[in-house]
Structure 1
């Protein structure tokens, strides 16, 4: 049996008394009592913000002396059913617990480890229970405590949940790239292990357990994992990049999954850019190689895809698909902002703690300017406007290679005009026939084409005239919502 389990039980036995998240028993193994206690301890742990709750058999609840127990949850039954299966059938599906047995100091002990309630209170046979001191009681419906418990469980943050637990100092340093962490935050590489662990805990990358060992949070794993495959809760969140030949998703030519943490965004970006289609152009006396897509737009879309994905969606992760004519960025989770207002609405981050750390790492700004940069970069390089889709529970942004105006579809022209009006509005600049013509790199002779495009946008209610009384030469345009 792992030594840390003995250490944990010893540490719990040394506490002054039973409390809202800790109970000792000698021989009371009534299944209904165990079920009620799981509900009460899970809910109390959530209410108090504790990492786990515990019920231990084999410890005197008065003296805390280790006296042992004959209880064996692995063979205990209720009727013809195994105890654990019976308990799970009568508990709500958000209940999580584990029986662990250990021989310690010549005594047989059983520890029931209970996870805090998540998303809603844990119910036993349809009722919710809570602890008051060392007593279990039904949680009164409509009470202040029930209201607070609902608030706490709804605010459960995936980033702070545990990816791995029961780790020693060396195991934490082996799982997390602490050298990269110190480099990125300007911490001397000679910083002692104890101080490094303290800093990691202060950032919520790790947490100290009741046993004295450590847990690595999902946040720590996502950002600084040496290998995300070591962390089952986030292993599917590793970035995958696929390069296809031509413009069809039928024949991938190569793919790569980045198993390290998101803090190494620049390494991911270097790989993506190396796979991009290229073209050679003559500038003056030199032959210049240009990649099909601009760096700033690629960086912003890659960072946003990683940081703002919906981490609660299991079995799916961020993905970049590169074709000869386009590049697609797909992440789990639909946009928290109306896609038509991405450029001008206030920023809204799905994963606030990760976004805050990434801002300090200079991977994002948390200022809502990411989409502005993407649109501006596309305009400056005369690319079609980025296309935004929400297939199922995902968000996909597609960048298309530079395309002459005559070859753009009607939808691409309308989208480009709308986003140009949005970015001009954000910069407190007017959108005019001239500004839109320059966005498409058309000469003066193309003014009539742009006039027809603007009329189509007005007909589709994408744009509106800023001042209806202005003369024809001075007409300015705004997004429809301005």
Structure 2
């Protein structure tokens, strides 16, 4: 497994942590190797103990005398240790849940060979080993269920600590922490002068929650810093699956892949590269305007940009094994992120946004990558309407959120459900802008001539039957009717009351 920190840092960590009565709920000493079952219980307990004490990591160290913290060295070799015929580390990973990041490190400290197992603190849920979660009570390891007050305290910690604020890598010099980030991009994007003094740079990033300095004056990279400004998210094993994947298919299915590209850099520092890649990848179509042939993007650039930014900001960062993804088909783009939307799919346009990741959303707004609350979706929807594309489809399949933007189709090629969805989305956009939906506005939306207004009248009737819109004023004559979204009728009643 990839080490969490460079080897050079562990001598200092061992010296700092090994002292008389130094064992804690997140530190354990062992003189020599113990059996694999005990190691598994320790890892569970140390991960949970570190989380309870708001420490980024727990440590299990071999070659250290219990109680005194004296360094004596060990012959334990984690590379050759096995459980049966299975390598120890592989066996432990199989029985620990969720799959936390931990690694074994061998280091020489004062001529003593010390083995350190560094265990990432539990995130969101307790770490279990063989279906039991453990915790440290002083220097004693117990099943968590036997200590209910600590179990309650641990869940309170999970509830209060946002994912972005948790330290990902710790125990570094400021220069090493900065070296993992494209930190000059932070200053450039915020239009600040790039400082020459690394201490000043680290302090500024720390004030925005991107870096953290601990009591021992060593530095760590917070998840927020890594996600937005990592040189390579692969350097942060816990976040390695959070990279953005762009996959292109030649047809309408996933049977064949034309190309796949993974963007390993941070979301903020790499955003323009991602958008430039999408602009180059997406097709254009030829239109004739005032007798002149022009190439127009098949998908509005504004919509692609805003929906990708939305995908990044609103993903569930705690979801494991998956990340944000953009799939380009011959007839559509699917933009998906882990985590079901906190807003119902039918209220994406009008409802105030609810973000899981407030710190990330706030900084990306300051940088200019995303809009003020909710206006990004509005801009995307307006650009799609102006291009007279089919209405996008918002979906929340289990564990994910997906937005599909369709390539241009004539009105007659759209399905009945597509047309009704277009009417609903049009009415939502008009309503939040303080305007009404009418036969005339829908003719403009679909590019239908005045002579075919009866087609739109029938469509409005279909949308009324489907319950997605209502007539604003039942007393109005047929030709004067205006329509509003179904949810707006309740708003009007509340305003009257």
- Classify the TM-score, shorter chain: 0.7 to 0.9
- Partner in structure 1 of residue 208 of structure 2: 203
CA change 1:202–1:79 in 2 (3 A) is same
Decide which of 72, 86, 97 is 2:76's aligned counterpart. Answer: 72
* Counterpart among 154, 159, 172 of residue 149 in structure 1: 154
Select between 164-173 and 43-52 the one with higher mean Cα deviation: 164-173
Please show how residues 281-430 of structure 1 align to structure 2 within 5 Å.
281-284=287-290, 288-311=294-317, 312-321=319-328, 323=330, 325-365=331-371, 367-390=373-396, 393-430=399-436
Matched ranges for 1:60-209 at <5 A: 64=69, 66-69=70-73, 72=76, 74=78, 98-123=103-128, 129-133=134-138, 139=144, 143-153=148-158, 157-160=162-165, 169-208=174-213
- 1:125–1:374 CA distance, 2 compared to 1 (3 A): closer
Aligned residue for 1:481, secondary structure, equals helix
DSSP 3-state at the match of 1:388: strand
Q: Is 336-345 or 391-400 further displaced after alignment?
A: 391-400
Distance 1:139 1:253 in 2: 50
Report how far residue 124 of structure 1 moved: 6.4
Deviation at 1:10, TM superposition (A): 0.8
1:5 paired with 2:5, answer no
TM-score by length of 1: 0.83
Matched residue, 2:494: none
State whether residues 51 and 121 of structure 2, in contact with CA within 8 Å, keep that contact through their aligned partners in structure 1.
yes
> 1:326–1:103: structure 2 CA closer, same or farther, 3 Å change rule?
closer
Task: Give the structure-2-normalised TM-score.
Answer: 0.80
Please give the root-mean-square deviation of Cα atoms over the aligned residues, in Å: 3.9
Distance in 1 of aligned mates of 2:31 and 2:463? 76
Name the CA distance, whole Å, in 1 between partners of 2:208 and 2:104. 31
Structure 1 residues 387 and 83, CA gap change in structure 2 (3 angstroms): closer
- In the TM superposition, residue 180 of structure 1 has moved relative to its aligned partner by 1.5
For 1:91 and 1:280, the matched residues in 2 are separated by: 56
Task: Tell me, yes or no, if the aligned pair for 2:243 and 2:323 is still in contact at 8 Å.
Answer: no
Residue 259 of structure 1 pairs with residue 246 of structure 2 = no
**How many residue pairs are counted as aligned between the two chains?**
480
Which residue matches 1:479?
Answer: 485
Q: Which residue matches 1:225? A: 230
Cα 1:456/1:36, change in 2 over 3 Å: closer
Asked if 1:439 is matched to 2:445, the reply is yes
Unmatched 5+ residue regions in structure 2? 1-5, 489-497
* 1:463, distance to aligned residue in structure 2 (A): 1.8
Does residue 1:22 correspond to 2:12, yes or no? Answer: no
Aligned partners of 1:238 and 1:259 also within 8 Å? yes
SS in 1 for 2:487: coil
> How far apart are the structure 2 equivalents of 1:205 and 1:123?
30
Deviation digits for residues 266-294 of structure 1 (CA, Å, limit 9, x no counterpart): 23223322333334445457654322232
Shift of 1:99: 4.8
Counterpart of 1:452 in structure 2 is 458
- Distance in structure 1 (CA, Å) of the matches to 2:431 and 2:236: 44
Unaligned runs of 5+ in 1: none
CA distance in 2, matches of 1:460, 1:190: 59
